[in-house]
Amino acid sequence: MPAATTGNRLPPRLTRASDFRRIIRNGRRCQHAFLQLYVLPCNSRNRHTSSKGNAGFIVPDRAVHGAVKRNRVRRMMKEVFRHWWKYVLPGHDIILRARSIPENDHASFTEAVIIMLLMTAGLLTREGLERSGERLRELPEM
């Protein structure tokens, strides 16, 4: 039986260092004080990328000190992005990179930042734009 495609799964992950370098060097960047988003259209000739797109998450040690905090931030970013992946336009490789950790490291703050970065990059579908407007009104002020 094929797996149900509910859209609540993480996108295929970027795992190769060369893919991360390629996207960071050649891709567009949108940034916030907390996160950076790098986006590059998928290269159909590269056998390591899917046609829908891939996602990668970077939380450097100099941005978030301590492995426990760093992994918490990474898990938070992945969980928020998992919910919004179904609203992202297909055909883009995306990297989310933490720049610093906010005083209130709540998932709602992370969600608001990711939504704003996806909107700025023009990566949300029409349904995603409608949902983001509703969701941003529900979230607390940053």
Q: Where are the domains of the chain?
A: 17-138
CA-to-CA distance for 7 and 119, rounded, in angstroms?
Answer: 19
d(CA 50, CA 91): 8
Per-residue pLDDT of the chain (142 residues; tens, 9 = 90+): 344 454 567 778 898 999 999 999 999 999 998 999 999 998 654 555 556 789 999 999 988 888 998 998 899 999 999 999 999 999 999 999 999 877 666 788 889 999 999 999 999 999 999 988 888 887 666 5
Strand 28-31 and strand 55-58: the pairing is unpaired
CATH T-level assignment (fold) for domain 17-138 = Ribosomal Protein S5; domain 2 (3.30.230)
- Decide: 51 and 90 in contact? Cβ < 8 Å: yes
Sign of CA dihedral 104, 101, 136, 78: negative
Instruction: State pTM to two decimals.
Output: 0.84
